[in-house]
Structure 1
């Protein structure tokens, strides 16, 4: 397994190394941890030296703590953070991108943020945490995870990363299906079976209501929320107003968000 973690020197960003390490430790084979630090375009030599020292310090600490044989590599870039993260992701092909969002208000926590821009184009699952979920950022103990599923083939995309999280953290899962109509949709038996075959303890929950609102209501009893979005590459407006955006803007839990590859 290969995991990319963008770092900006903040405590929250470095806190994302904890779940990244757990995912690597649960992998069947030795993996790679890719650290990315982005400076302003054309940084002075002293600034670049400082960036290299920072990344070497983080790498040294990780290696002293032990990574179950995983290799740590770092990339020091200059330019637009989202663009450079996406370039490294395309070149290196990680299985996950694990990163923090830094928005202060719910409105600004997502829209226009580096994390949102990465999410719009990345082909990997993203594990995201924001400052409002700082309690989880410190512990990363995902004992109970909520998996949102709307019954579409796109929603099945979230099952594999959700299984990886559940196996790494020994998590119990709730599989949530929210439907707005009076007629209850087909159940979640296929998804439930897939999760249980992977050894995940899961309970299905089907409720009538608007999807984003029901996900947010259920999130309060969980440590992590997993969902897929229907957005495709090249459609600039797919994200705004979507269930995923509304959940990420309002949710104070870390999230796993997956979008279809182009």
Structure 2
């Protein structure tokens, strides 16, 4: 299903979680993980990015997953979308910092811009700070709406959550774009998968 999974990394906890998810998927599909760090300017130290990519490489190799890495310069969202074509990625897995409301409007969201412009599906992985179990469909729906808002799809139509063995799956549609939000019922951690 997937051959090359692009994983942008900035060394943040969200990016680390996304990397773990990408490595797990790559192991399952016998795919290659392609790590990417984007320096926004010549002045930005690339040591942090190189450390993040070294960590990704180490984690992938521990799981016997093929891995390649690249450092680029420029606008992070544009660089991620350009890298999709350059490396032949068929999936992007990236962390999201979970900004919402005014903060997202003022600062913007790299993940949101990538979700909106990527030619391939994008899975966003965030951190759920409360670490609370999700026991009701209403709470699962609320978490799904939060994830969709972070990705810039606050107006998406959200369907009734479906309870799986250890997770909730919530399907949503925003125009022609469809998503599934997978929510770990024990931890409340969520990831957004763009289906189309």
TM-score, L = length of structure 2: 0.66
CA 1:10–1:106: 2 relative to 1, 3 Å: same
Contact 2:156 2:174 (C-alpha < 8 Å) held by counterparts: no
Of the two, which has the highest radius of gyration? Answer: 1
**Structure-1 separation of matches of 2:95 and 2:60:** 18
Which of 89, 92, 110 is the equivalent residue of 1:94? 89
SS of alignment partner, residue 99 of structure 2: coil
CA 1:125–1:229: 2 relative to 1, 3 Å: farther
Which of 105, 108, 117 is the equivalent residue of 2:113? 117
CA 1:211–1:103: 2 relative to 1, 3 Å: closer
Which of 51, 55, 67 is the equivalent residue of 1:57? 55
Quote how far apart the aligned CAs of 1:107 are. Answer: 6.0
Quote how far apart the aligned CAs of 1:21 are. Answer: 2.1
Contact 1:223 1:254 (C-alpha < 8 Å) held by counterparts: no
SS of alignment partner, residue 124 of structure 2: strand
Contact 2:115 2:122 (C-alpha < 8 Å) held by counterparts: yes
Aligned ranges for residues 178-193 of structure 1 at < 5 Å?
A: none
Aligned ranges for residues 13-32 of structure 1 at < 5 Å?
A: 13-27=15-29, 30-32=30-32
Cα displacement string for residues 57-113 of structure 1 (whole angstroms, at most 9, x for unaligned residues): 3312331x223xx32111111111101111111111212111111133356558931
2:161 equivalent to 1:218: yes
Corresponding pairs, count? 164
Q: Once superposed, what is the RMSD of the aligned Cα atoms? A: 3.6
Q: Which consecutive unaligned segments of at least 5 residues does structure 1 have? A: 137-144, 147-209, 233-242
**Structure-2 separation of matches of 1:57 and 1:252:** 22
Q: Which has the higher strand share?
A: 2
SS of alignment partner, residue 46 of structure 2: helix
Q: Which consecutive unaligned segments of at least 5 residues does structure 2 have? A: 133-139, 142-154, 182-187
TM-score, L = length of structure 1: 0.52
